[in-house]
Amino acid sequence: EDQVTQSPEALRLQEGESSSLNCSYTVSGLRGLFWYRQDPGKGPEFLFTLYSAGEEKEKERLKATLTKKESFLHITAPKPEDSAPYLCAVRPASGTYKYIFGTGTRLKVLA
């Protein structure tokens, strides 16, 4: 069964304290892994797409990496404005329209 698991559920960091969020997946053929940020009361905001193991993408303090079993979202020197839930989703080869989402990691960065 296709599945996405995100860990930890919640993460509290001090400003400037780098860390990583994990997204583990089990799918029948990966056609893309996606990271989103979702601020309270808003829709998910697209961050990155990764397609193959070894691929990396960067944007400001965020860097996403992908292996055959998991993806990491690395946050370097985070700031309070980085606080938000972060969602991971995968698209399996079995479904053109299917995105399987994890339950997210709630990140809180303290000043």
Residue 29 found at the interface with other proteins (CB under 8 A) = no
Q: Which of 11, 78, 102, 105 binds other proteins (CB under 8 A)?
A: 102
Q: Which stretch binds other proteins (CB under 8 A): 14-22, 60-68, 70-78, 91-99?
A: 91-99
66 touches 52 (CB < 8 A): yes
21 touches 6 (CB < 8 A): yes
57 touches 64 (CB < 8 A): yes
Q: Which two tokens stand for residue 43?
A: 């829709």
Q: Which stretch binds other proteins (CB under 8 A): 17-25, 55-63, 75-83, 96-104?
A: 96-104
Binding residues for other proteins (CB under 8 A)? 4, 31-32, 34, 36, 41-46, 49, 87, 89, 91, 96-103
